[in-house]
Amino acid sequence: MTLYRATVVDTPANPFTEEPAAALRVEQDGAVLVRDGVIAARGPYAEVRASYPDEPVEHLTEGLLLPGFVDTHVHYPQVRAMGGLGRPLLDWLHQYALPEEARLAEVSYADAVAVQFLDHLARAGTTSALVFGAHFAPAMDTFFTRAEASGLNITAGLVLGDRLLRDELHTTPERALAESHELIRRWHGRGRLQYAVTPRFSLSSTDALLEVCTELMRPIAGGEAVPVRFTSHINENTAEVAAVAALFPGARDYLDSYDRHGLVTDRSVFAHNVHASDLELTRMAEAGAWAAHCPTSNSALGSGLFPLRRHVEHGVGVALGSDVGAGTGMFVGKEGLQAYFMQQLLGAAGLPLTPVHLLYLATSAGAHALGRQERTGDLSVGKDFDAVWLCPPPGSELATNLAVADDAVDALARVFALGGPADVAQVYAAGRPLHTRRASDDAATRARSGRSESGDSHRPTASHEPTQD
């Protein structure tokens, strides 16, 4: 067992339905006791230490210990396609994203991309993700192999499309069914992995392909105990919405192109939903489907301003996604800041967000969207120890600001305003340390700032080597 001493901050309740102050839980000098990757006890450090006087202590006493971030929309094959600014969605797809995605036909390339992708997730403090996969089954096999080894909580699936992409990315309904079934059989429910049926979007899916998705969503007789999940894109860009309306003349709206196939469920996460109608929001709420809000992507592609207030008023659950490569990096904290900006820019139509809302959107909300709320999303006893220790390098703007923060809410505000992957000092996935900022870097910055190491036991930064370096 290990006892982590830290300022522990999480959101076990929903600040959109409860008072934000009541949704936040703070242990200023707190402790989390971890046994076999699971949180066995938590509380004020003095109390927990008194109950467990012999356990080793790791001092994470500067900065904040938060639940690991949950990214509910991120594309594995696009980790090398970030930064393509200046184009709207359909242009961007054809110029930037799809040519890169075609390269994953070669499994050695796909494998190298998978390693990079998972490493970047961990370095960004993300411990759970709903990952948009590749169009190639061998690329997904290699991805799941690497994801299992990473220790991260990953839900992903083979991406399906049978029109309007690039020829080499197209499948057929028959092939989609066979390859997806095989991947589900091999990977769904194995360790921390789950499978998500993933048509790219209705624009690139015929009704026959969407019907295959319906088939894949049905539990296999004698097969998986936990049903597979579903994800796709929706209502991202006005030209895309118009094209979908033309391709599905019988559908009431974009959501209905999925709904007619039974794909709008409480296991469904739809990315973007910037241009949602009230009817669509009503139907999503009724079904318990979630929206993945991806603000940096929406701004980068000029997709529009996300109607968060209307989602909340309709009772649709919203979590955050980085949408890399259209998004501008994997740090979900940045998505929180951009979500806050977007609501500010919407004026009266916006929903003002507090730091508590941002933490909830970046952690617990995502765990619910993935159906993993019993295991992750906050640091409650009985859950997996999925956590990120945000501790800025000495001398950074965030360090300067955390040092004068009034309280935990103020500290959280400064983390969302100023934080980035460079402030991720340590990440734990089910108790396993995944990423440690280089001890030598910290030693250098500490020396520059004239501080010395202290405490009655080692600092993790001095005790673990970086992973995958």
- Positions that interact with ligand GUN (CB under 6 A): 75, 89, 93, 97, 200-201, 233, 236, 297, 323, 326
* 3-state SS, one letter per residue, for 133-198: CCCCHHHHHHHHHHHHHHCCEEEEECEECCCCCCHHHCCCHHHHHHHHHHHHHHHCCCCCEEEEEE
Comparison of 257 and 401: residue with beta carbon closer to Zn ion: 257
**Cβ at position 295, least distance to ligand GUN in Å:** 12
Comparison of 271 and 339: residue with beta carbon closer to Zn ion: 271
**Cβ at position 162, least distance to ligand GUN in Å:** 14
Comparison of 241 and 402: residue with beta carbon closer to ligand GUN: 241
Comparison of 114 and 234: residue with beta carbon closer to Zn ion: 234
Strand 424-429 versus strand 159-160 pairing type: unpaired
Among ligand GUN, Zn ion, none, what does residue 293 contact (CB within 5–8 Å per kind)? Answer: none
> Measured between alpha carbons, how far is 383 from 377 in angstroms, rounded to an integer?
9
**Cβ at position 285, least distance to ligand GUN in Å:** 23
Q: What backbone torsions phi and psi does residue 155 show, to the nearest 5 degrees?
A: -115, 125
Contact by Cβ (8 Å): 316, 284:
yes
Comparison of 8 and 365: residue with beta carbon closer to Zn ion: 365
Among Zn ion, ligand GUN, none, what does residue 142 contact (CB within 5–8 Å per kind)? Answer: none
Comparison of 93 and 379: residue with beta carbon closer to ligand GUN: 93
Comparison of 200 and 261: residue with beta carbon closer to ligand GUN: 200
Residue with tokens 């799809």: 98
Contact by Cβ (8 Å): 461, 417:
no
Among Zn ion, ligand GUN, none, what does residue 379 contact (CB within 5–8 Å per kind)? Answer: none
Beta bridge partners of 155: 130, 194
**Cβ at position 157, least distance to ligand GUN in Å:** 14
Residue nearest Zn ion (C-beta atom): 323
Residue with tokens 């839900």: 155
Among Zn ion, ligand GUN, none, what does residue 6 contact (CB within 5–8 Å per kind)? Answer: none
Among Zn ion, ligand GUN, none, what does residue 89 contact (CB within 5–8 Å per kind)? Answer: ligand GUN
Long-range contacts of 398-404 (CB under 8 A, 24+ apart): 398/423, 402/62, 402/63, 402/64
**Cβ at position 89, least distance to ligand GUN in Å:** 6
Catalog residues that contact Zn ion under the rule CB under 5 A.
Answer: 271, 323
Number of other CB atoms surrounding residue 324 within 10 Å: 26
> Measured between alpha carbons, how far is 344 from 326 in angstroms, rounded to an integer?
22
**Cβ at position 298, least distance to ligand GUN in Å:** 9
> Measured between alpha carbons, how far is 23 from 17 in angstroms, rounded to an integer?
9
Among ligand GUN, Zn ion, none, what does residue 280 contact (CB within 5–8 Å per kind)? Answer: none
